[in-house]
Amino acid sequence: MERANQMAERQRVLLLTGASRGIGHATVKTFSDNGWRVLTISRQPFDPRCPWEGGAKNHIQLDLADMALVQAEMPRLRDIVGERLDALINNAAVSPKWPDGGKIGALEMGYADWLHIFNVNFFSCLALVQGLRAPLEVARGTVVNMSSIVGSRVHPYASAAYATSKAALWALTRELAADFGRVGVRVNAVSPGEIDTGILSPGTEAIVDRDIPLHRLGKPKEVADLLLFLCSQTASYISGSEIHIDGGQRV
Ligand SMILES: NC(=O)c1ccc[n+]([C@@H]2O[C@H](COP(=O)([O-])OP(=O)(O)OC[C@H]3O[C@@H](n4cnc5c(N)ncnc54)[C@H](OP(=O)(O)O)[C@@H]3O)[C@@H](O)[C@H]2O)c1
């Protein structure tokens, strides 16, 4: 009973990458409003345009494209996180486009740019899970990887490198769910369609009219609420799943 009370009182801890804007911004606010301690990682210093209580002191500035730096910073990250990590949300991503917003095809991008995208969108996610394995296991925590609808279909604006990085992230989610399940850590992916953030290209309105049965963009807060659900005890038997949040765009 005493242990149950301690569990109930313990503040849960979330580490979220890419918190400075878009879906990440809505997610810090949602988790923080629900009593979580939220630690954030972004390439830029704490962004005052995304204010929330405790935000500045819980922000870690780290370029997730620099894998050597990510590995070097892991001991410091573990110190900041502490003994238990209840949730890790790999949300940061880059989605390069031509200057006019057009799609960059598979044949139009060189290896260095492919690697940059895969470092941010894929390898840094794996590095964080590997580096924070111990506190995730102690907490019997959960990992959510932000994939995308473009991981399973060709998209008019998303680059081939971005799309394949998201497909790889979903495959990694399956593998991690299989590996981590034995120790009670759940791993899932969320695959948004067109959510109203700066990542969208001009011309997305045409997709909304033509392809989305709900006939509107998704809101970052709608994704944040799904993430909160997946990281809660209410989702305690959901693992290895890809949850689509796209207004029906896949149909
Ligand atoms: N919006 C959509 O329609 C949509 C659809 C499908 C999937 N998604 C996925 O949902 C997630 C969030 O998307 P969003 O629309 O909110 O994106 P966003 O508004 O472009 O925000 C991206 C975030 O990633 C961070 N980031 C980018 N490069 C980084 C790096 N090298 N190191 C550290 N942080 C870095 C940015 O931080 P800085 O500001 O510090 O650079 C920013 O906080 C992404 O994984 C995206 O692929 C979004």
pLDDT of residue 132: 98
Residue with CA at minimum distance from ligand 1 atom 2: 195
Please identify which of the residues 111, 157, 162, 237 carries the catalytic annotation: 162
pLDDT of residue 108: 97
pLDDT of residue 199: 85
pTM (2 d.p.): 0.96
247's torsion region: left (phi>0), alpha (psi -120 to 50) or beta? Answer: left
pLDDT of residue 62: 97
Q: Which atom of ligand 1 is nearest to the CA of 20?
A: 43
pLDDT of residue 87: 98
- The CB density around residue 183, as the number of other CB atoms within 10 Å, is 11
**Residue 191 three-state SS:** strand
In the chain, where the domains are located: 2-245
Under 8 Å CB-to-CB from 53, ≥6 apart: which residues? 32
pLDDT of residue 146: 98
Instruction: Write out residues in the chain with pLDDT < 70, as ranges.
Output: 1-8
Backbone angles phi, psi at 14, to 5 degrees: -115, 135
237 is catalytic: no
120 lines ligand 1 (CB under 6 A): yes
- The CB density around residue 123, as the number of other CB atoms within 10 Å, is 18
pLDDT of residue 244: 98
Topology of domain 2-245 in CATH is Rossmann fold (3.40.50)
Task: Tell me the two tokens of residue 41.
Answer: 């990682």
Compute the distance between CA of residue 126 and CA of residue 175 in angstroms, rounded to an integer: 11
pLDDT of residue 1: 45
Compute the distance between CA of residue 126 and CA of residue 111 in angstroms, rounded to an integer: 20
